[in-house]
A and B are shown apart, each in its own frame.
Chain A
Amino acid sequence: EAGVTQFPSHSVIEKGQTVTLRCDPISGHDNLYWYRRVMGKEIKFLLHFVKESKQDESGMPNNRFLAERTGGTYSTLKVQPAELEDSGVYFCASSLLLAGRYNEQFFGPGTRLTVL
């Protein structure tokens, strides 16, 4: 079975441009998360979808970031306009939605975003 996939693997854009990152979760995983690690910092949680609904978006840094998950399958994270401090690695993770047990998160390989 395929794991979590992310596209693109790398993206280099100029400040002020728009970039859209895509995440395809493991089939059947209703939970979907976005995280990011900016240079020299720890991995930070951005937001959590349950199916197509945003369960928790407390980690979103500002309104330049827009996450969507139409239809409850894949998700996109748009950064518009991108700033230099947005450079880093963006991870997506997914997990099952089963009550009564811990549903471990499976992470994708990440998208490395460089804003020049």
Chain B
Amino acid sequence: DAKTTQPPSMDCAEGRAANLPCNHSTISGNEYVYWYRQIHSQGPQYIIHGLKNNETNEMASLIITEDRKSSTLILPHATLRDTAVYYCIVRVAHSGGGADGLTFGKGTHLIIQP
């Protein structure tokens, strides 16, 4: 799996958009970008994933640069409940349903300020 680099921490004001960057300069063609987060004292939670096109779901948007060497997770209207550690994970394309174990790095501790 490609290595990812994320800032250790970020602050964002409540109600504003939170933009979390991730560098993955060694990503290969068949690797996806996945985002999970872990709210304090809970298990990790899936957010979104993408290959090369931008993706959006009810939780967030994922913007992947054209060269795929970096991406940004966007939480459009951050709330206090979005305070968590956010993990950017790059791994090979999922096989026929048998998704493998995830490799979590240190992630970014996002703190939403009231």
Contacts and interface: CB of A to CB of B under 8 A. Distances in A.
Contacts of B38: 43
A88 interface: no
Interface string A46-75: 111010000110010000000000000000
Given A4-B43, A106-B46, A45 B102 contact: yes
A105 B96 CA distance: 15
A7 interface: no
B42 interface: yes
B86 to A, nearest CB: 13
B99 A45 contact: no
Interface string B5-37: 000000000000000000000000000101000
Interface of A: 4, 31, 33, 35, 42-48, 50, 55-56, 59, 91, 93, 95-110
Minimum-distance CB pairs A-B, first 3: A107-B43, A45-B101, A104-B46
16 contacts: A4-B43, A33-B101, A42-B104, A45-B102, A55-B100, A56-B101, A91-B43, A91-B44, A96-B97, A100-B96, A100-B97, A101-B97, A102-B32, A102-B94, A102-B99, A107-B45
